Amino acid sequence: MNRRPWALGAVAALVFAFLYAPIAWLALVSFNDSRSLSRVTELSLRWYAELVRDSRVLDALGLSLRLAAASAVVATVIGTLAAFGLRRAFPGRNAWTVLLSLPLVAPAVAAGAAFAFLLSFDDVVASSYPTGVGSTTLPVFVYAQAGRRGVSPEIVALSTAMVAVSAALLVAGVLVVAWRARRASPASTFVGGGRDQGTRHAGG
């Protein structure tokens, strides 16, 4: 019985290593000075500098950001209104009720907006339909470049940058949620304690 937690931890470590070791290796290779993807000769920011100088990457990134932001705004507005319509369907509801409830649901709305943004930003299938000359999104650009020339150091550097930004946003969201929970816990404890004391006083 005592060995099971260690065995479970070992299996979990192997699974995580199997999933994330290739990503970690590609992140290391993105700083390689040569074009080799099998070994690292010298650390450099060469391929990231190539990305910054590539106008095609910058144009695709700008279009992806605009489309993802627009999709997030539309999805958030429609989803929030639908949620209020389904959950708050009671007599006497009005715009003031919605405005007063918005601060309470703001974290959930922000999480939904971030999810909609990332889902639209990373989508390849849906982004391929409106793609044309001068209107290529970043995922479609990466897919096309990998299909034509194979996985190049530029593509590896671009993928590493996208993963790093997504991870940074995820960590920031977790920290914000934890910070809000720490701020809310003393107030809820005080209110709950005050109610308990009032109940005991009334009962006495």
CB–CB of 106/155 below 8 Å?
no
What residues does 32 pair with on adjacent strands? 43
Which of the two residues, 68 and 176, has the higher pLDDT score?
68
Residue type, 202: A
Report the b/e string of 7-26 with b at 16+ CB within 10 A.
eeeeeeeeeeeeeeeeeeeb
Give the pTM: 0.66
The predicted structure's pLDDT at residue 108: 77
The predicted structure's pLDDT at residue 95: 64
CB–CB of 137/56 below 8 Å?
no
Q: What is the pLDDT of residues 66-103, one digit of tens each?
A: 888 998 899 888 888 777 776 655 555 566 666 777 77
Q: What are phi and psi of 54, to 5 degrees?
A: -85, 110
Residue type, 167: A
The CA distance from 82 to 63, in Å, is 28
Residue 147 banded pLDDT, cuts 50, 70, 90: confident
Q: What is the pLDDT of residues 35-57, one digit of tens each?
A: 888 888 888 898 899 888 888 88
The CA distance from 31 to 46, in Å, is 7
**180, two tokens:** 């809000």
Summarize the confidence of residues 184-202 as an average pLDDT: 51
